[in-house]
């Protein structure tokens, strides 16, 4: 009987020790969870990581309804920006087709993404023409045009190149331009720069990292 009472007293005396051990274990689990979260918040992009830059922050162009649009209008969505023009013979339609396929690969997550094509040919690409062009690839896509001055400032903000290339007649000119996909996170910060010939799987993968 005495031994049983002694055993009870010993167990009672070790209770604070067990509590300290359990608290230490809980703290360890919490730290491990935090480490896991920290690791998840540092995505590994297939494109060039441009986090911390202000690329694209000066975007100010006009949509198909005549509304001036900046990146602030698309906060809450991952934005993919591409510079091109409707008379582009091959590079632009190929890039837009890959973007459309990327949206298919993203499935339901595509609703959290906004693809924008900014024309480098505002002389010919009216809001109506550009709107019809981009929506032929995907109904959710947006086309932005504007004045030559607006384009100049916006392209400078993205560090994008464009120039008119003379054709056989004054009306049949082409536009030389850089071909890249700029991926901007849901807070409006530039994060990834992808080559304009990147396949849909790569585009979708880098977008997914930001969702």
pLDDT digits (tens, 9 = 90+) for 13-71: 455 555 555 555 555 544 445 455 444 567 899 999 999 999 999 999 999 999 999 99
Inform me whether the pLDDT recorded for 7 exceeds 50: no
Inform me whether the pLDDT recorded for 156 exceeds 70: yes
Q: Is 60 in the same domain as 28? A: no
Mean pLDDT of 110-139: 97
Q: Is 105 in the same domain as 36? A: no
Q: Is 10 in the same domain as 36? A: yes
Supply the CATH number for residue 126's domain. Answer: 3.40.30.10
pLDDT confidence of residue 42? 76
pLDDT confidence of residue 31? 47
> Domain total for the chain?
2
pLDDT confidence of residue 21? 55
DSSP letters spanning 116-168: EEEES-TTT--HHHHHHHHHTT-TT-EEEB--HHHHHHHHHHHT--EEEE--S
Span 128-150, pLDDT tens digits: 999 999 999 999 999 999 999 99
Q: Is 79 in the same domain as 177? A: yes
Beta carbons within 10 angstroms of residue 104's beta carbon: 11
Q: Is 7 in the same domain as 76? A: no
Mean pLDDT of 182-211: 97
Q: Is 60 in the same domain as 36? A: no
Beta carbons within 10 angstroms of residue 103's beta carbon: 22
* CA–CA distance, 194 with 82 (Å, rounded to integer): 10
Q: Is 64 in the same domain as 38? A: no
Domain end residue (candidates: 42, 58, 73): 42
Q: Is 12 in the same domain as 104? A: no
Span 195-206, pLDDT tens digits: 999 999 999 999
- Percentage of residues in the chain having pLDDT higher than 90: 76
User: Which of 75-79, 115-119, 161-165, 166-170 shows the lowest mean pLDDT across its residues?
Assistant: 166-170
Q: Is 72 in the same domain as 173? A: yes
Inform me whether the pLDDT recorded for 191 exceeds 50: yes
Q: Is 24 in the same domain as 52? A: no
Q: pTM for the complete prediction?
A: 0.80
Burial zone of 58 (CB within 10 Å; 0-12 exposed, 13-18 middle, 19+ buried): middle
Q: Is 29 in the same domain as 118? A: no
pLDDT confidence of residue 1? 41
**Domain span including residue 156:** 48-208
pLDDT confidence of residue 43? 83
Q: Is 69 in the same domain as 150? A: yes
pLDDT confidence of residue 18? 56
């Amino acid at each position: 009987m005495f031994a049983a009472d002694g055993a009870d007293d010993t167990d009672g005396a070790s209770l604070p020790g067990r509590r300290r051990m359990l608290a230490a274990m809980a703290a360890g689990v919490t730290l491990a969870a935090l480490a896991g979260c920290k690791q998840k918040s540092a995505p590994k992009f297939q494109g060039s990581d441009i986090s911390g830059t202000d690329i694209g922050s000066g975007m100010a162009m006009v949509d198909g309804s005549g509304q001036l649009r900046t990146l602030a209008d698309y906060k809450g969505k991952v934005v993919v920006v591409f510079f091109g023009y409707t008379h582009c013979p091959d590079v632009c339609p190929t890039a837009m087709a890959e973007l459309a396929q990327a949206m298919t690969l993203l499935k339901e997550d595509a609703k959290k993404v906004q693809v924008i094509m900014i024309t480098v040919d505002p002389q010919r690409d009216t809001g109506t023409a550009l709107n019809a062009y981009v929506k032929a690839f995907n109904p959710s896509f947006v086309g932005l045009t504007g004045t030559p001055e607006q384009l100049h400032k916006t392209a400078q903000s993205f560090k994008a190149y464009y120039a008119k290339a003379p054709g056989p007649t004054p009306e049949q000119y082409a536009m030389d331009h850089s071909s890249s996909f700029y991926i901007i996170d849901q807070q409006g910060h530039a994060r990834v720069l992808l080559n304009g010939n990147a396949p849909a799987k790569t585009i979708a993968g880098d977008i997914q990292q930001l969702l």
